[in-house]
Amino acid sequence: MSNGAKPKGGIEPLASPLLARDAKRVGMASSWGSFLQDEQQLEELARQAVDRALAEGVLLRTTQEPSSSNVVSYAPFTLFPSLVPSALLEQAYAVQMDFNLLVDAVSQNAAFLEQTLSSTIKRDTFTARLFDIYKQVLKEGIAQTVFLGLNRSDYMFQRNADGSPALKQIEINTISASFGGLASRTPAVHRHVLNVLGKTKEAARILSNNPSKGLALGIAKAWELYGSAKALVLLIAQEKERNVFDQRAIENELLARNIRVIRRRFEDVSEKGSLDQDRKLFLDGQEIAVVYFRDGYMPSQYNQQNWEARLLLERSCSVKCPDIATQLAGTKKVQQELSRVGVLEVLLPDQPEAVARLRATFAGLYSLDLGEEGDQAIAEALAAPNRFVLKPQREGGGNNLYGEEMVQTLERLKDSEERASYILMEKIEPEPFGNCLLRPGCPVRVVQCISELGIFGVYVRQGKTLVMNKHVGHLLRTKATEHADGGVVAGVAVLDNPYPV
Ligand code: ADP
Ligand code: MG
């Protein structure tokens, strides 16, 4: 998801030429580091990896070109898969259905959303605008009867006090969760790299992964339950979308099931969209069964016309993915309130096991609402800035504040209501390791990295009945440790695969 955020500074070479001992020095998994003899071999391996990535369709449109362009390059990726403890991978998969249930429960709980977001919407105009639409839809009555969630819960790994590795949630994405398409194509690239090195046994251990298929099956189920054979899926796309092949993977899966998808912008909806007396949505005269948003998650993506289009879509009986309540359920403020003692128990009554699994993944999250609790959180962050991250209600990478920037912002906001538009989070400190980040036009070198694991989840609800609740695959993204924030399209993180150990 691009918001034009720029990586802060370049990556310094750590070892040149790269030898096994250098790789070891930067903590590259000793197995990978010891495969490499010299820098020449590294560069040849990188060339082969890039060619395979291009051949597999691990692609982004280049920044300079318009959305109709056929000028592409490879999406950045790591040369080697990164080691991930199998137990954490299993834990992340096991808790995904719980997160699906939780998001669905929050989205249906108007009192909880209203109470949780009340302080935030006073000062955050974007969240307030979304909330406004939510209120309008509630007042008119929700027309849709089928609900579809396609989300991705993201984690980092941190050591517990006893040295065992722990899974800590960074956030859950309930709108436009991306890279399910490209993530199905990167395993072949990493297998290729290991095969080139003669490591066939290791290559075979790289997990197959096909999130876009699972996401498409969710859309297909929602389409089927909507119950009109001629109706289409509408993908709300950005004007200039670099990550189009990721989206096409889902479209292709739908087409293979004889479900037609049209790509349109908010502008097209406002010009040509309409509702009939039953609030069925029509665009260009065609009925829309499912609206899948790959746009609309950040303020810059809306003008007045787009807000009106969003309202029209929300009022319709089409299945929105996500509906406005589910988008609000994915805000950082909601994440913070969910971590409060007793809240999960209220939202998921009689499900103590799910509650325990969910809570085990929570990092420290702190409200900054005016009052004693918020004052205390701010005092702690000012006393130890390196232990915290300050987060506004934004998506897409590049919005969080760290270190000195966080301190300055907290000093400025300390006595103002505006501080309630942020939350404070414990900073997760994964152990760095060495890997090569391959980017078009950048030299190949080993750098210190950390990874973030995402698990894709899908659920479909018809009225009160949950008819689908699944995990459908994973995404590993890796970035150099010098970058505090993330984002692949933002130019910081790159695609990776977990190598389970
Ligand atoms: P966004 O909605 O912009 O993706 P995130 O909460 O995912 O917001 O934060 C963006 C990036 O910042 C993450 O991908 C991660 O690299 C980093 N980050 C976020 N929260 C933390 C945290 N608590 N500890 C360490 N890094 C974090
Ligand atoms: Mg994120």
Give catalytic status of residue 56 as yes or no.
no
Rounded mean pLDDT, 189-195: 97
70 is an active site residue: no
pLDDT at 8 over 50: no
Confidence of residue 1 (pLDDT cuts 50, 70, 90): very low
| Residue 159 in domain | yes
Number of structural domains in the chain? 2
Residues of the chain with pLDDT > 90: what percent? 85
Q: What's the rounded Cα separation, in Å, for the pair 233 and 423?
A: 36
pLDDT of res. 3: 37
pLDDT for 36: 78
Between CA 419 and CA 392 the distance in angstroms is 9
303 and 347 part of one domain: yes
Q: Is residue 132 part of a domain?
A: yes
DSSP string, 106-120: HHT-HHHHHHHHHHH
Output the CA torsion 130→136→138→142 (10° steps): -90
Query: How does pLDDT run across 148-173, given as a tens digit for each residue?
Result: 999 999 999 999 889 889 999 999 99
- Total Cβ atoms within 10 A of residue 231: 21
Is residue 3, in this structure, part of any structural domain at all?
Answer: no
Q: Among residues 434, 477, 487, 491, which one is catalytic?
A: 477
Q: Is residue 10 part of a domain?
A: no
Averaged confidence pLDDT in the chain = 92
* 375 and 270 housed in the same domain: no
Q: Are 405 and 487 in the same domain?
A: no
When pLDDT is cut at 50, 70 and 90, the band that residue 409 belongs to is very high
Integer CA distances (angstroms), 301 to 126, 236, 238, in order? 11, 11, 8
Would you call 3 a catalytic residue per the annotation? no
Residue 227 annotated in ligand binding:
no
- Is it the case that residue 374 has pLDDT exceeding 70? yes
Write out pLDDT tens, residues 432-474.
999 999 999 999 988 999 999 999 999 999 999 999 999 999 9
Per-residue pLDDT tens digits for 9-48: 322 233 333 444 445 544 455 457 777 778 888 999 999 9
Could you say which ligand is closest to the alpha carbon of residue 332?
Answer: 1
Is the pLDDT assigned to residue 481 strictly greater than 60?
Answer: yes
Same domain assignment for residues 161 and 65 = yes
Where is pLDDT greater, at 6 or 357? 357
Same domain, 165 and 63: yes
Please check the confidence at residue 353 and state whether its pLDDT lies above 90: yes
Residues ≥6 apart with Cβ < 8 Å to 31: 202
**252 and 384, same domain (yes or no):** no
The answer, as to whether pTM is greater than 0.85, is yes
Q: Ligand 1 centroid to 154 CA: how many Å?
A: 9
How high is the pLDDT of residue 19? 40
Same domain, residue pair 169 and 83: yes
Same domain, 167 and 60: yes
Q: Is residue 389 part of a domain?
A: yes
Q: Does 230 fall in a domain?
A: yes
Q: Are residues 246 and 393 in the same domain?
A: no
Final residue belonging to a domain, choices 411, 427, 443:
427
Residue 174 tokens read as 């309930």
For residues 186-196, give the mean pLDDT: 97
Residue 296 sits at φ, ψ, to 5 deg, of: 95, 15
Instruction: Tell me: is residue 479 an annotated ligand-binding position.
Output: yes
Residues 322 and 420 grouped into a single domain? no
Task: Based on the fold, state whether residues 375 and 394 are members of the same structural domain.
Answer: yes
- Distance (angstroms) between ligand 2 centre and the Cα of 174 equals 11
Q: What is the position in ligand 1's atom list of the atom closest to the CA of 485?
A: 12
- Please give the residue range of the domain that contains residue 269: 20-363+428-500
357 and 372 share a domain?
no
Examine residue 7 and state whether it is found in any structural domain, yes or no: no
Q: Report whether pLDDT(6) > 80.
A: no
Mutation choice for ligand 1 from 485, 492, 496, CB with most ligand atoms inside 8 A: 485
Q: Does residue 78 have a pLDDT over 70?
A: yes
pLDDT digits (tens, 9 = 90+) for 226-278: 999 999 999 999 988 999 999 999 999 999 999 999 999 999 999 999 999 99
Among 427, 449, 468, which residue terminates a domain?
427
Q: Please indicate, yes or no, if residue 394 is contained in any of the structural domains.
A: yes
Asked if the peptide bond before residue 322 counts as cis, ω within 30 degrees of 0, the response is yes
What percentage of the chain reaches a pLDDT higher than 70?
A: 93
CATH of the domain at 412: 3.30.1490.50
Please report the pLDDT score of residue 13 as a whole number.
Answer: 31
Active site residue 241: no
Q: Which of 427, 451, 479 is the last residue of a domain?
A: 427
d(CA 80, CA 124): 41
Distance 467 CA to ligand 2 centre (A): 28
Reported as a pLDDT band with limits 50, 70 and 90, residue 182 is very high
Give the per-residue pLDDT at 18: 40
Total Cβ atoms within 10 A of residue 429: 15
Residues 349-357, mean pLDDT to the nearest whole number: 97
Q: What is the pLDDT of residue 31?
A: 57
Task: Give the pLDDT score at 240.
Answer: 87
Name the closest ligand to CA 394: 1
